[in-house]
Structure 1
């Protein structure tokens, strides 16, 4: 464990530049389609085949779906009236939102309507593949709670499997040096219609995270991987974890025996994990093997969609602009 968690050799130069690149490119992730090389395509290994429940237990790690702020930018100033009432400005924005301070929405964004649909499609595909889920853990971010809930809806188990909110699954704290977002409480989530496990005692708290806001990337991996190890060791059955782009790596890398990546490589990896990406690991059930888990093919195909620019009907009133478009 200690050897795997050693900080990458050499200085972490270029992080600021990579951060700027990440901020620019993450807005276009929904329009990114990654095509494997032809020699990597396995034509005999299809999605949507029935999950083999005779094998070892499985963990499915999912990134949250499309978020409002990456889709609409600084959306809060024009989405609330002077009394703080939410105003829907686009059909892809939520129809309603739970009551909270506007500044809290700015730092803890909801999903778009397409995002909720993405998550539900993911759950439906898991159901078609025969996936069985026994426990669900989610980052406290509202977008993750919504994603988990919609996946469970697609699986048809939204009412029977409650979501265990785990602050330790929150993303790299480097993005939150000014302080954590103020997340909705379990009580507020329940009152908004979410099935939350009220009796679950999280392994980490917001207070714990507030003490480590200057978190390095290797510390982030350590935090997530140690929490994941504890979840895997102290529970039974199949687990669904809903978190952030980095969660797919931090909650699986150590389990399968891979070493931590240098900071720049890790940031580049995040750009390759679009909304609702799914990764799956399975226990080997072989005592002689050094690592208990191995990667397996996810139970469902990925989701790709094109970028759809916002339409302003008034462009039809401007003859000059129309003529310019047809020069």
Structure 2
């Protein structure tokens, strides 16, 4: 009963996502002009105007180390024989891979390395020690993100309790894959590979524009977050979102009333290491969203309001006039930018944990993030 949900969202004649069983044409033509004033900030979803008072937290994390980055393009030619049997040729290769209809698809829809799998498990273990129990998990349909989410939940001892919801809206900017057609794995293939997939969940974003630009990527990510927030605004809880490097920016930017920065997105994403994560939360629907600056619950209690005020001041200084198109900030101005002290001194008290985590101070109002 498990259909190939994600491949069915795309046109079978499409060069971008390859062959599929059902037609799912993009809602907007590829060459449609995007209005910078298209209402990116007009929605009240996630802005504190909902009627629920449930505390809600999102842990947004990039996937772990990927095989193609470590072993280069075409690594599958060495890892698979003519029959499609997988052979591990390096200690950092994944020990095994689930069977998929066409093993060549692993070239683009790449898996994690052995280190990436270990990284992901360790993240889950640390989150469990910091008492951040995940109540729901959403993953990009990219296999590397699915593997990361799976191992994080395993590290938290939550794999059997929290199924993976595959959300198309969490995938990367499609124009970045214009030369590399990709086919996502089916539910059947993932279930046979022992991944706990929620087969009843239907993606909140039903299809992707082909060759969307970076601004459209921001807009699509905002829509995905709006809908996921709506699903959990009554119950609250800690929601894990496992996706890609730019996800830390595009999924949180509108929550902080920040302007999209499409012209800088690739540069900003390049700063985000494997398994880096940002945490955004609100105490109730009447409170603003805030970044978390420590994994220690108590360390955050007394500085939430101060952090939010400073973040809003930093954002306000960087937001251009609506009558002008956002421009790339000059190197001279960025070199004089001074982040608020709270961003650098994020811990109210030193951690006694043997498992230290690095924190990268926010620059140019970029989301603060952790590397565990």
CA distance in 1, matches of 2:181, 2:168: 11
CA distance in 2, matches of 1:72, 1:262: 30
Structure-2 residue corresponding to 1:177: 178
5+ residue gaps, structure 1, are 7-53, 306-327
CA distance in 2, matches of 1:190, 1:3: 39
Q: Is the 8 A contact 1:280 1:298 kept in 2?
A: no
CA deviations over 1:64-112 (Å, ceiling 9, x no partner): 0000000100211111112221111101101111122232111100000
Matches within 5 A, 1:131-146: 131-146=132-147
Structure-2 residue corresponding to 1:219: 216
Count of aligned residue pairs for this structure pair: 250
CA distance in 1, matches of 2:275, 2:154: 15
Following superposition, the deviation at residue 3 of structure 1 comes to 5.0
Q: Is the 8 A contact 2:248 2:278 kept in 1?
A: yes
Q: Is the 8 A contact 2:275 2:371 kept in 1?
A: no
CA distance in 2, matches of 1:120, 1:298: 20
Q: Is the 8 A contact 2:245 2:272 kept in 1?
A: yes
CA deviations over 1:257-286 (Å, ceiling 9, x no partner): 1111141x2211111100000100111426
Matches within 5 A, 1:50-69: 56-69=55-68
What TM-score comes out, normalization by structure 2 length? 0.63
SS in 2 for 1:255: helix
Structure-1 residue corresponding to 2:86: 86
Structure-1 residue corresponding to 2:116: 115
What TM-score comes out, normalization by structure 1 length? 0.72
Q: Is the 8 A contact 1:64 1:143 kept in 2?
A: yes
CA distance in 2, matches of 1:240, 1:298: 17
- Name whichever structure is richer in helix by fraction: 1
Q: Is the 8 A contact 2:277 2:371 kept in 1?
A: no
Q: Is the 8 A contact 2:41 2:257 kept in 1?
A: no
CA deviations over 1:188-236 (Å, ceiling 9, x no partner): 111110111111111124xx22xx2220100001001111111012213
Following superposition, the deviation at residue 255 of structure 1 comes to 1.1
Structure-1 residue corresponding to 2:268: 269
Q: 1:241 to 1:298 in 2, by over 3 A?
A: farther
Q: Is the 8 A contact 1:136 1:162 kept in 2?
A: yes
| Pair 1:148-2:149 in alignment | yes
SS in 2 for 1:117: helix
Q: Is the 8 A contact 1:5 1:260 kept in 2?
A: no
Matches within 5 A, 1:1-327: 2-4=38-40, 56-74=55-73, 75-100=75-100, 101-178=102-179, 180-205=181-206, 208-209=207-208, 212-235=209-232, 236=235, 237-263=237-263, 265-285=264-284, 287=286, 292-299=288-295, 301-302=357-358
